[in-house]
Structure 1
């Protein structure tokens, strides 16, 4: 029987990063993955393939709507080749998953293909696709099994017309009318992909705003922009049934007045969030406890109630974000090595990769009001930037929330071009507890989208933006 210092179950961003950091710190490490490729949801059926389709559909939309304005004339019809678009996405996925294989090899990490399940707290059975079982000894184990798309109890997912994000990433045709149940990140991103490609898209959301949990100003701005792009919204609608008849799917929902309304389309994308995935782990055999929401219970050091078993990422409490899982993977590895790492969960940024993009870090206005914190607001519109006008990306704004007395930055919220990258400036500033004035005194290259951050900081400091 092979014995390891650390065995990681799951090779998503949390798992493979944890394995690499453990190996770097001198631990003999193995990683267990049940699928044929490494990388988990993020690389295979999540972050990476969805961004590939978002980019491809963005290029198509630019060609159809914007090239003429730029003086680029295209002779003949611009057409969508779904087969090639999906093939390119698959190629991007393959490049990334092969990259993880290379990193495992480079760091001398043993990859065990199969389903990992606990035999007891220090032994794990690995069952391969042919049913063969291998048992390994693990002095320490990191559970990194991630999450799966959630659904509603009355919805029968046939994965043909009533689909999750996994199936939405490999459709062979552009839907005529895609109905998206859920106005969160996944639904909006994939909804925009197919809207650009020619589908009619309707978003049905239970709450009264999209992007629940983010600052309401971001939800309001993105709703306005997406409506301009002809996406339809049915907010405050409670879905109560989804039925399929041939190629037509019908949704029945109650609106905010309690009246029944129906929606019909050829595809329904169920995007109501994700659920922790612990199926097959046999946690009971190891004595690991779970909470009422199906998550693995952990302490502040991500240790379970069993001393040598840790858990990270989507399978534990907190935001289901790849980069949050990565940070937790590094933290657990370093704790095992006797170091003293730390994660500030308030400074884990959230991003929506629609266009314009949405990004945020820190507290929302709603949270500050609820906590009774006195704050000031500095906001600057993207349309006032030379760089935004040059690229025709004038939607959105940057908003900085700062403490009224100390001027410390408490939250930054953005909608606009490339804000998924810009948010890193806000995270850096807040990690060093910068004030709005600190940011306002930094030189920002001109012309760039980042100038909106400086201008918002000037607005928050003493209401003196230069370009507004």
Structure 2
């Protein structure tokens, strides 16, 4: 029987990063993955493939709507080749997951293909083509999450689908109904809207992206309506039925009236649930909470002292980069180091266009906590860079403590917001004030000038360019 210092169950961003860091720190490490490719949901059916389709559809959208204005004439009709688009997406996935294989070999990490389940706290059975058993002094559970569903919805994975199926459709829907106005639903909804589908969003909360700052939701709602999305907030879905090639969705609106939506596809994107199926956690003394998540303490340690858990399978935001931070945290803890994670500074991003990004507290949270704050905003349309690229939707908002001027939250919607939010994270990590940001030189012309201007607005209501 092979023995290891650390075994990692699950090879998503949390798992494979944890394995690499353990190996870097001198631990003999194994990683166990039940699927044929490494990388987990993120690399195979999540972050990476969805971004590939978002980029491809963005190019098409630009060609149809904006190339002529840029002085680019295309003879003939611009057409979508969905099959080729999906093939390119898969090539990106294959290249990325292949890169994880390379990293495992480079770091001398043993890879086991099969379903890992605990025999006890130190022994793991691996079921599969090459069934075996290994022993590990420490184990890191990184088994991730799966798409959630509503109890009355029968996912046939043909017309009533999850994000997994939406990434490999063989045709562009005529009318795609999206249940859920969160990150996944909006991103995939935008892909198919750009390609010509009619898209209807049905959201239970009173606004789309309900967990983010309300100002971001309002601006994205405006952009989506301009793109002819049909957005139905405050709607509780009561039934989803397939009749032939048609899907009928019924919901109650905020007045309690029943409304009906008909389409040829329905994407169910109502969040994700922790995935522990087949783990046999109880055999190792690992407790799960009432929501199926692995219970952990502040050190990410489970009820079994030699077993840790990270990522989507534990409490907190279900984000790949949060899982990565936790993977490194556990590895360094096992090595006797003193790592830290500030969960308030884990940024959230929606990769629509314009992109939406946020870090720290929202205005709603600050009000609920009774914290006196000041806010400064700056519209993207006031930037020369935005006008040059025709990306004028959106704004940057900075929230700062009213007394100390320390930055408490940064919220933005606009071109490249996903990249720009890192400036807010750095500022808040070092407890910068809004004035600190306002006095930093920002290259001109860039989108990040909006951050400086928002900081100026927050500091003394003195933005320069509005």
Shorter-chain TM-score tier: over 0.9
Matches within 5 A, 1:85-104: 85-104=85-104
Residue 226 (structure 1) shift: 0.5
CA RMSD of aligned residues (A): 0.4
Residue 284 (structure 1) shift: 1.1
Matches within 5 A, 1:30-179: 30-128=30-128, 130=129, 132-179=130-177
Aligned-partner Cα distance in 2 for 1:24–1:402: 39
Per-residue CA deviations over 1:375-396 (Å, capped at 9, x if unaligned) read: 0000000000000000000000
Aligned-partner Cα distance in 2 for 1:79–1:174: 12
Aligned-partner Cα distance in 2 for 1:464–1:240: 50
- In structure 2, the residue matched to 1:396 is 394
1:297 to 295, 298, 301: 295
DSSP-derived class of the 2:136 partner: strand
- In structure 1, the residue matched to 2:373 is 375
Residue 287 (structure 1) shift: 1.0
- In structure 2, the residue matched to 1:432 is 430
Residue 109 (structure 1) shift: 0.2
DSSP-derived class of the 2:119 partner: strand
- In structure 2, the residue matched to 1:200 is 198
Per-residue CA deviations over 1:87-106 (Å, capped at 9, x if unaligned) read: 00000000100000000000
Aligned length: 466
* Corresponding position: 1:261 with 2:259: yes
Question: What TM-score do you get using the length of structure 1 for normalisation?
Answer: 0.99
Question: What TM-score do you get using the length of structure 2 for normalisation?
Answer: 1.00
DSSP-derived class of the 2:315 partner: coil
Per-residue CA deviations over 1:407-454 (Å, capped at 9, x if unaligned) read: 000000000000000000000000000000000000000000000000
Aligned-partner Cα distance in 2 for 1:270–1:435: 42
- Structure 2: tracts of 5 or more residues without a match: none
- In structure 2, the residue matched to 1:240 is 238
- In structure 1, the residue matched to 2:2 is 2
Residue 41 (structure 1) shift: 0.2
Per-residue CA deviations over 1:112-154 (Å, capped at 9, x if unaligned) read: 00000000000000011x3x53010010000000000000000
Aligned-partner Cα distance in 1 for 2:267–2:260: 16
Per-residue CA deviations over 1:238-262 (Å, capped at 9, x if unaligned) read: 0000000111000011010101110
Aligned-partner Cα distance in 2 for 1:83–1:350: 31
- Structure 1: tracts of 5 or more residues without a match: none
Aligned-partner Cα distance in 2 for 1:237–1:311: 35
Runs of 4+ aligned residues of structure 1 deviating over 6 Å after TM superposition are none
